[in-house]
Amino acid sequence: MTAAQLKERLLPRGPLDLLIQFAILALAYVAWRYARGAVAGGMTEAFAHARDLISIERSLGTLIEADVQGWTLDSGWLSEFVRWGYANLHFKGSCLMLAAIFLGWRGSFGFVRNMVLAAMAISILCYAAFPTAPPRFMPELGLDPSSAVTGNDPVISAPGDPLFNPFAAVPSMHVAFSMLFAWSLALLVRPRPLKALFFAYPLLMTYVVVASGNHFWLDAALGAVVAGASAGIALLAARLNSDWSFGTDAERAPVAATEPEVEAAPA
């Protein structure tokens, strides 16, 4: 494959398109972080909401956060993986999967981008309406709040930091983003083992956020709801612009032709 063919395969709409899409997502991410910090609720309200979740889970017989973390800590190496996973998989994994979609399936990127933008907007509304402390802050659960376990700073307040919101637990965007990116790739790739891995990835992320004490399992479930809602919004947007539709790897077919067509000589 020549350099020109590789460029056409990876950047079918040119390098400027890459810069534009990167700028859109980078600006949206920064705005989302500032908005998340701006809507940070009060400690009293956030702890009350967390205890509401504890009551719901206890009534369902599914208050499992302490048991999951205890089992993880007892296993040894899993606790290190969970700490590393919470600190790294969310942002870095999301960026890698997003890059894979852009470079491999550009025709589907607009749909995925719109899902991400919608999910960010929905999450800000949720953080403003229902600020919730993560389970690691709840003393009655007996979780280990240290960064060696959680992969997160064990602080409740950070005065002067506009990006900080310690009570942005509902919904879990770790789980929401893992579903948006991994399930998109699962639908796009062909090898069945890869499909299985991508479909299972959000389950791994759910385990990481619960075992680390950063989210209740209900936070993860609500993250899945946000992912579903954002997919619905992206479907509606695709009706307005066909370029925002979700495609398959068939969209890459045009670059497969490497030889110019030669007309047959007249008989």
Domain spans in the chain, listed from the N-terminal domain onward? 16-249
* 86-134 pLDDT tens trace: 989 999 999 999 999 999 999 999 999 999 999 999 999 999 999 999 9
Owner of token pair 């045009």: 254
Nearest to 91 by CA among 173, 18, 186, 159: 173
Report the C-alpha gap between 196 and 6 in whole angstroms.
28
The neighbouring-strand residues paired with 168 are 132
Residue 267 pLDDT > 70, yes or no?
A: no
Contact predicate 112/180, CB 8 Å = yes
| CATH annotation of 16-249 | 1.20.144
**How far apart are alpha carbons 257 and 247 in whole angstroms?**
20
pLDDT recorded at residue 173? 97
CA distances from 207 to 4, 5, 76, 119 (A): 43, 42, 15, 21
Segment 55-80, tens digit of pLDDT: 999 999 999 999 999 999 998 899 99
Residues 176 and 224 sit within 8 Å (Cβ to Cβ): yes
CA-closest candidate to residue 214, choices 162, 147, 164, 120: 147
pTM of the model: 0.89
Cα–Cα separations (whole angstroms), residue 135 to 1, 18, 182, 222: 52, 39, 26, 15
When the pLDDT of each residue in the chain is averaged and rounded to a whole number, the result is 90
